Structure 1
């Protein structure tokens, strides 16, 4: 009787193990597909998005400037987001940008946001303790950029060519991929 009971327990344990292994394998496949899709999406926009020289930006203090004035100093890494993006989509990126800014300097990194009111930008900067430059731009200024249709934060490097390069759409599930992106960009900004 005991051997029958032990066989049943062993059988159930084996069945649970097989089901768990199948679920893990399935989950791993989904993650690989997610990563593949993310890489394809990122490469689809790099080198194809152009920012106009005359794009008017509002600094945190309310002063106006053009994007041309920012990129005269060399390549700049921008995090682009809007007030419609989810917090978890950009919070980790802001922390990573803070660390990067300590290595390459705060003037080589900027946030390019679209908030309906300037006071929201000020509150955002204060809440996240942002030390690098933050600029507000009208959302309508970016309607021509296909990447905006994704309604997700993204990063890009802009230099005098006005072509968005190294476009990267971060995914909070894959922090190691984001870190690899920042390591690569650090070398470009130094």
Structure 2
């Protein structure tokens, strides 16, 4: 009997240890899930704040831009009194983030017309962008702007690539910062909304 009791005690002890291990692992998993939820919540809250703060950003329409052939254009001529959709990034931004944005922007389902899209960059050598443009078959407009022209803008201080709609007077609207997995998933919906908005404006002006 004593041997049986000892064996039972040993078995129960092992079971308890295993249960404690599972409980600890579960708590750790729940803790991680809670952390991810908090992180996602913080990301969303921060991006909403960023969008509000960047609503006063603008680019001087007198700013001079250079195209891929080094020809110079005033921003006002590029906008041409029509709202344009802008993908803005610099050579200091996260390259994989920029590539993700290009990939989503090039999706046919988005419905953006190339004449409505401006790629606005700040690069010391625009030739380094050729592989990116060719990879995603982008044949729209790409322009290089001196970073000083946008240095006072809130969005520029974040040092991340972002989207926005530029108005005829150079003001920025509908800014979107698709950094992080949760916001990347929302980018497609954002792009479709922008596309529909631009299409409606174009139809209304005819």
Worse-superposed segment, 95-104 or 168-177: 95-104
Residues in 2 aligned to 1:182 and 1:102: alpha-carbon distance in whole angstroms: 6
Select which of 179, 185, 196 maps to 1:176: 185
Q: Is the 8 A contact 1:101 1:109 kept in 2?
A: no
Select which of 34, 43, 63 maps to 1:34: 43
Worse-superposed segment, 117-126 or 160-169: 117-126
Task: Indicate the SS of the match to 1:104.
Answer: coil
* Inter-CA distance 118–33: structure 2 relative to 1 (3 Å threshold): closer
Residue 62 (1) aligns with residue 53 (2): no
For structure 1, the residue ranges without an aligned partner over 5 or more in a row are: none
Q: Is the 8 A contact 1:72 1:159 kept in 2?
A: no
Residue 50 (1) aligns with residue 58 (2): yes
For structure 2, the residue ranges without an aligned partner over 5 or more in a row are: 1-7, 200-206
Residues in 2 aligned to 1:101 and 1:139: alpha-carbon distance in whole angstroms: 32
What RMSD over aligned residues (CA atoms) do the two structures have, in Å?
Answer: 2.1
Residue 104 (1) aligns with residue 124 (2): no
* TM-score, length basis structure 2: 0.82
Alignment of 1:145-156 (within 5 A): 145-156=153-164
Q: Is the 8 A contact 1:100 1:182 kept in 2?
A: no
* Inter-CA distance 118–5: structure 2 relative to 1 (3 Å threshold): closer
Q: Is the 8 A contact 1:79 1:111 kept in 2?
A: yes
Q: Is the 8 A contact 2:111 2:192 kept in 1?
A: no
Task: Indicate the SS of the match to 2:172.
Answer: strand
